[in-house]
Structure 1
Amino acid sequence: MTALVTGATGFIGGNLARALWQRGEKVHALVRPGANDIAIRGTGVQQFAGDLLDMDSLHRAAEGCDSVFHCAAVYAFWSRRPEGIYAANVQGTRNVIETALKVGMRRAVFTSSVSTIGWPDAPGKANEETPVNPKLLVGHYKRSKFQAEQEALTANEKGLPVIVVNSCAPVGKWDVKPNPTGRIPLDFARGRIPGYMDTGMNLVDVDDVAEGHILAMERGRPGQRYILGNRNLTLLQVFRMLADITGRRVPRFRFPYPLILGAAYVDQWIQGAIMGQTPRIPVEGIRVARHPMYVTSQKAVEELGMPQNSVEIALEKAVRWFADHGYIGTRS
């Protein structure tokens, strides 16, 4: 198999590209010029300079590939140009689908997000069938991913079998940027967590997410969605795990939601509007975190055989990777 991986310099895409290469697969990676390629540097992954919005470069990268893992996306809860999020996430997905059809690929896996999963009406865990109300999708990232997922699913009607995987909150190695979830173990290890919010998430080892992508390509049913997650945890539980790993204290103070949201608006005004920098406390991120997103990955485990490795070990791997690559004690 020769697979194209978009977003191969990112967190999920980088781990996926490495996993495919380590299995002996031939891998093409679409890499934006100037991107930090440390996640795939020194591997046999063949890099093609290009961009999701550049059809010629997409075609060059896709030539000779029989499948595509479309992992590339703008994962951000703040942007000075929100239209850029939609261009990359929605139009970029259309372009990947069009390219895959043109070169005659046999199969595709689209990396979506747990953000596109609906909230259950009654207390409990959401699954792939929980309906989502698009009006309740908070922020540009969630809305763009929902639209992109719809684009991916309609490709099945055009003759390209597409499987959607909805990743939960991944942690582990090769979080180069790092992503919003990865900032949790990073900031905790730096001692920059003064308190916590009463919220929660579904945490998963990024290695399991990468394996889930490969299993979806091999065993997934076209037109189906598979939640790639593991354990539902409160943020305080995650901090307790990180305390055991790092030796730092668990934050004592639980900040009420209105206080955090107010601080986020102030931070976004100062950092974003005035200084032109990414806010440390993005308003969209706080609004998303107000409701814990607890889900079940039973479908992915039963149909695909997705592994469920220890999230404590995943957090430990994340902290160790950040330490080994000089992130702890820096301002990255």
Structure 2
Amino acid sequence: MQTAFVTGATGLLGNNLVRSLAAKGVAVRALVRSAEKARLQLGDVAEVEIVSGDMADTAGFADKLAGSDILFHTAAYFRDSYGGGDHASALHDTNVTGTKNLLEAAYKAGIRKMVHISSIAVLDGPRGAWIDETMVRARKNADPYYSSKIDTDEVVLAFLESKPDFHASLVLPGWMHGPGDRGPTSAGQVTLDFLHQKLPGITPGTFSVVDARDVAEAAISAATRGRRGERYLAAGRHMAMADLFAIYEHVSGVPAPKAKLPTWLLQIVASFSELGARVSKKPVLLSQATVKLMLREAERTRFDHNKSRRELGLEFRPIEDTLRDEIAWFKANGFVSTSPEAQKGY
């Protein structure tokens, strides 16, 4: 690789991927929606060309694809889909149609290799089972976001069928944490709420937690070692929210909530949260979609990484290191308030 084109370059994964590529001497063209956010997120990274554009309008940046050796596609519509309301159209336009148009534009520009960032959303299995890349999710068990990711993977795989000279591998991350989460993502927001003691208790469910920097390394390895059309898990470690809170407490010194929140209370909170958001126009604290996802996926977050370890050399750093670095980044960038108001909680 000499020149890489990265979509979603200011996101948590995208910016860490850009940094890792640049550190390896790869020139990067970084697709961003906000030039100001790009300046804040990537202004200290050499060998990066900022390309302004949106996945909903690939024609607007298609001319910038030419001359790149490889495409890393990390951009996706995700966070807003769990904010209440109907997001089916936006999910399809960005994740599915946007990816299809991106593939066609990249091919026309001469790119013949791609790493597509998929998701553990496309996999499923019985509760308590170890889930691997062969266990593809049935649509009846998919919410709108999960369905969009299934559709997007099918777009990529269909493109491979139609273009024998095109190479793509798919990397499937879990719930990503780490430094550089300027959004912040849902993961980063949980971290900030914990630090500000705004979390009233321990929610049910389990998660597969991974450092975005480890996912970035998996994507780069997939570019050079991944097989055509193959999925590679980079989901991280299975844990319950209580496990995550215990690590937060250990690395931050902030006491963790102890009370366990019952499902019925979460559903009530989600209903009032969505109602309040419609009135205030502020982000939803907890949506019905999030509660449903949490309950459906509980104990379905154990992922088998043997294939990725064997073929990509995948490794995971300790979660303690991830959260420690994430918290340090939030503090260094002014996200953590020390005011009394920020410490009052609910």
SS of alignment partner, residue 286 of structure 1? helix
| 1:112 matched to 2:118 | yes
Q: Partner of 2:131 in structure 1? A: 126
**Residue identity opposite 2:304 in structure 1:** T
Distance 1:180 1:262, change over 3 A: same
Query: What do the CA deviations read for 1:25-80 (whole angstroms, capped 9, x no partner)?
Result: 01111121455112222222101111222233331221111210000111221265
> Hey, what's the Cα distance between the residues in 2 that align with 1:34 and 1:84?
22
Q: Partner of 2:55 in structure 1? A: 52
> Hey, what's the Cα distance between the residues in 2 that align with 1:124 and 1:311?
22
Q: Is the 8 A contact 1:111 1:167 kept in 2?
A: yes
Distance 1:237 1:73, change over 3 A: same
> Hey, what's the Cα distance between the residues in 2 that align with 1:79 and 1:6?
26
Q: Partner of 2:210 in structure 1? A: 204
**Superposition deviation, residue 248 in structure 1:** 1.6
Q: Partner of 1:325 in structure 2? A: 333
> Hey, what's the Cα distance between the residues in 2 that align with 1:303 and 1:142?
26
> Hey, what's the Cα distance between the residues in 1 that align with 2:58 and 2:312?
32
> Hey, what's the Cα distance between the residues in 2 that align with 1:268 and 1:192?
18
Bigger mean CA deviation after superposition, 295-304 or 167-176 = 295-304
Q: Partner of 1:73 in structure 2? A: 76
Structure 2: runs of 5+ lacking an equivalent: none
Q: Is the 8 A contact 1:15 1:39 kept in 2?
A: no
**Residue identity opposite 1:146 in structure 2:** I
Q: Partner of 2:140 in structure 1? A: 135
TM-score, with normalisation over the residues of structure 1? 0.94
Which stretches of structure 1, 4 residues or longer, exceed 4 Å deviation after superposition? none
Bigger mean CA deviation after superposition, 179-188 or 3-12 = 179-188
> Hey, what's the Cα distance between the residues in 2 that align with 1:221 and 1:309?
24
| 1:7 matched to 2:8 | yes
2:279 aligned to which of 247, 255, 274: 274
> Hey, what's the Cα distance between the residues in 1 that align with 2:53 and 2:16?
20
1:257 aligned to which of 238, 257, 263: 263
| 1:308 matched to 2:316 | yes
> Hey, what's the Cα distance between the residues in 1 that align with 2:116 and 2:239?
26
**Superposition deviation, residue 81 in structure 1:** 6.0
Query: What do the CA deviations read for 1:261-298 (whole angstroms, capped 9, x no partner)?
Result: 22112111211x22232201122122111122222222
**Residue identity opposite 1:278 in structure 2:** P
SS of alignment partner, residue 211 of structure 1? helix
Q: Is the 8 A contact 1:173 1:321 kept in 2?
A: yes
Q: Is the 8 A contact 1:20 1:27 kept in 2?
A: yes
SS of alignment partner, residue 210 of structure 1? helix
> Hey, what's the Cα distance between the residues in 1 that align with 2:188 and 2:153?
23
> Hey, what's the Cα distance between the residues in 1 that align with 2:205 and 2:59?
44
Superposed CA RMSD in Å reads 1.7
SS of alignment partner, residue 253 of structure 1? coil
> Hey, what's the Cα distance between the residues in 2 that align with 1:103 and 1:91?
18
Provide the identity percentage.
27
Distance 1:314 1:69, change over 3 A: same
Q: Partner of 2:26 in structure 1? A: 25
> Hey, what's the Cα distance between the residues in 2 that align with 1:58 and 1:72?
14
SS of alignment partner, residue 216 of structure 1? helix
Q: Partner of 2:244 in structure 1? A: 238
> Hey, what's the Cα distance between the residues in 1 that align with 2:183 and 2:276?
22
Q: Partner of 1:289 in structure 2? A: 294
Q: Partner of 1:42 in structure 2? A: 44
1:146 aligned to which of 136, 139, 150: 150
* Aligned pairs, number: 328
**Residue identity opposite 1:173 in structure 2:** P
> Hey, what's the Cα distance between the residues in 2 that align with 1:47 and 1:81?
32
Distance 1:35 1:126, change over 3 A: farther
